[in-house]
Structure 1
Amino acid sequence: MKPKHSLITLSLLGLLTACSSQPEVTDNSDVVVLAHGLARSSNAMWKMKDNLEQAGFAVCTIDYSTIGVALDDMLDDTRQQIKGCISRGGRTHFIGHSLGGLVIRDYLAQHPVDTQQLGKVIFMGTPNQGSEVADHMQDNFLMGIGGEVSQSLISGERSLGNQLPVPDYPVGIIAGTKSSFATKSYFDVANDGLVSVDSAKVASMDDFIALKVSHTAMRYSQSVSDQAIHYLKHGQFDHTGSLR
C-alpha cells in the first residue's frame, strides 16, 4: 500500500474496537466535557485530560463508536453521554477535537445550555466546513467501510458541519498548520494534514489561534493544552507567544 493511502487508512479506520461507554463524571461545580475524533476512543484524549486536571479542572471524557455506525445513532449516543456530564452546580465547558467539535455543536444545537451555566467552548482541528481529505476519499472503498460518520465529513451541503446551525455562543478555535507529505497535494491552503485552517473556522468564533501542530499531534501537544487552558481561564488565547 502506498504511504499516502496508508496514512489515510489509519486516519479513517483507526481504532476499530472503540466502543461507547459511560463517561466518568467528577463531582465538581465546573466540568470540562472532552470529545474525541473519528476512529478514536476516549483514550485518545488522555494527555489533554491529564493537563486539564492538573490545571484544576474536573473532566468528563465521552467515548463513542464512529466506524460503521449510523450518523444518527452516534449523535444520539453522544447526546446522552454529554447530558450525563453536564454540571448541575456550576459551569460546563466543552472541548472537541476534530469530529468531537461537531459532536459538541450538535449537542448544543439540540440542548442549549443556559448562558449562566455554559462555560467556554473550544474546537480543535474541527472540520466545520468539511475535510478536503474526505472529499478526495469519498469515492474510495474505505469511505464505504467507514460508514455514515466518515462520509459526513466531506465539504459542501452534505457536510455535517454545514448542516448544523452556526454556533450562537462564543467559540475558541485552535487550528493546526503542520501539513502532511501524504496529503499535501489535497490542499492549496494552510492545513494540519486533514483539515484546512479555513475549514476549522466558524463565523461566530470569539478567538482563533493557529499553531504549528499536525491534526493527530494536537491531542498530545502541550502547547495546544496550554492554549486551551488559557482560553478556559481567561476567555482568550495567549497571542503573546509566551505559551509557545
Structure 2
Amino acid sequence: MRIVFGTILLLLSFNSVSSDCVVLLHGLARSAGAMENMQQALDKAGYYTVNVDYPSRKHSIEVLAAQVMPPALAQCRENNSEKIHFVTHSMGGILLRQYLQANTIDVLGRVVMMGPPNQGSQVVDNLKDVPGFQAFNGPAGMQLGTTAQDVPRQLADVSFELGVVAGTRSINLILSTMLPNPDDGKLSVENTKVKGMCALVTIAVSHPYLMKRQKGISQALHFLQHGRFTGDTAQQFGCPAQQQS
C-alpha cells in the first residue's frame, strides 16, 4: 500500500512540475522553420519550446507584438513552466521589447537576442524609399531604421537578463557598404547593443544563419544556463537585472 501511494505521489509530482519554457521568435520575412535547429537543440537540453510562426510582413511591429505574444505565453503557462525564456532572431527581439513596453511577464527568465536591430539598421535608412522595399518587407520592415521616429529608438532600455549574439561575417557585400563595420550584412555589431544588456558575444556568422549555426546555438544555450557567454569575444556587463537577482 505504501509503495502504491508513493508511486501516485511521484506521478503527481511529474505532472505538476515542468521544465522551463523557451519562446522562439523568428525575424522579418521568415517563418518558424528558420528556428528549427535552435528548437531541436533546446528540446534536447530539456526545455519546453514554443516556436512561434507569425506573419511578419503583414502588420506593424505594434500589432504583431500584441498578436504574437499572448498566445505564446499562454502555451508556456499551460506547461506549468516556472520560467519563460526567449531566444529571438532579428526583428523577433524588437517584438519582445515592444510587448514589454506596456506589459510584464512575471516569470520572465533570460533572453538571447541574435542579430537584434536594437538601434535599427542603416540598411532600412538607405533603402526604405527604393521601389519594392515596402512591398517586400511590409509595415514592420519600414519601422526598423535608425531615426528617432523608428520603433527601435523609441523603446525603453531593457530591464531583463539579456544576452546579445552579433554576427561579424557578411554574405551581402552591397548591403555591408551601408553599414559601420563590423557587420553581419544586415546590421552592425554596434546597432545590436542596448542599454541594460548583460552580455554580448560576436561570432563569425552572417545575419541569416546566426540562429542556425552551431556557434550561435551553443552560445544561446550557454547564456540560458549560466547568464553569460563563453569564448574570447564574450563580454559581460554589470546589468541591473543580474545585480538584482
Q: Is this a same-fold pair by TM over 0.5? A: yes
Match of 2:27, SS? Answer: coil
Instruction: Indicate if the aligned counterparts of 2:163 and 2:197 stay in contact, CA closer than 8 A.
Output: yes
Residue 57 of structure 1 corresponds to 47
Superposed structure 1 runs of 4+ greater than 3 Å apart: 85-89
Instruction: Indicate if the aligned counterparts of 1:70 and 1:148 stay in contact, CA closer than 8 A.
Output: yes
Q: Cα distance, 1:240 vs. partner?
A: 5.2
Q: Distance in 2 between matches of 1:45 and 1:222?
A: 12
Q: Cα distance, 1:83 vs. partner?
A: 2.8
Q: Cα distance, 1:94 vs. partner?
A: 0.8
Residue 66 of structure 1 corresponds to 56
Residue 181 of structure 1 corresponds to 173
Residue 160 of structure 1 corresponds to 151
Residue 136 of structure 1 corresponds to 126
Which piece of structure 1 moves more, 188-197 or 85-94?
Answer: 85-94
Q: Is 1:148 the equivalent of 2:148? A: no
Instruction: Indicate if the aligned counterparts of 2:61 and 2:98 stay in contact, CA closer than 8 A.
Output: no
Instruction: Indicate if the aligned counterparts of 2:66 and 2:99 stay in contact, CA closer than 8 A.
Output: no
Q: Is 1:39 the equivalent of 2:29? A: yes
Residue 13 of structure 1 corresponds to none
Q: Is 1:205 the equivalent of 2:224? A: no
Which piece of structure 1 moves more, 220-229 or 105-114?
Answer: 105-114
Q: Deviations over 1:99-155 (max 9, x none)?
A: 0011111223322122xx221111110000001111111111223313310101111
The number of aligned residues is 213
Q: Which has the higher helix share?
A: 2
Q: Cα distance, 1:159 vs. partner?
A: 1.9
Residue 29 of structure 1 corresponds to 19
The correspondence for 1:100, drawn from 92, 100, 112, is 92
Instruction: Indicate if the aligned counterparts of 1:129 and 1:159 stay in contact, CA closer than 8 A.
Output: no
Q: Distance in 1 between matches of 2:58 and 2:105?
A: 30
Residue 218 of structure 2 corresponds to 226
Identity of aligned residues (%): 32
RMSD: 1.7
TM-score by length of 1: 0.82
Q: Deviations over 1:58-89 (max 9, x none)?
A: 11111111213344332221122333234344
Match of 2:56, SS? Answer: coil
Q: Distance in 2 between matches of 1:183 and 1:43?
A: 25
Residue identity matched to 1:224 = G
TM-score by length of 2: 0.81
Largest Rg, 1 or 2: 2
Which piece of structure 1 moves more, 187-196 or 66-75?
Answer: 66-75
Instruction: Indicate if the aligned counterparts of 1:131 and 1:199 stay in contact, CA closer than 8 A.
Output: yes
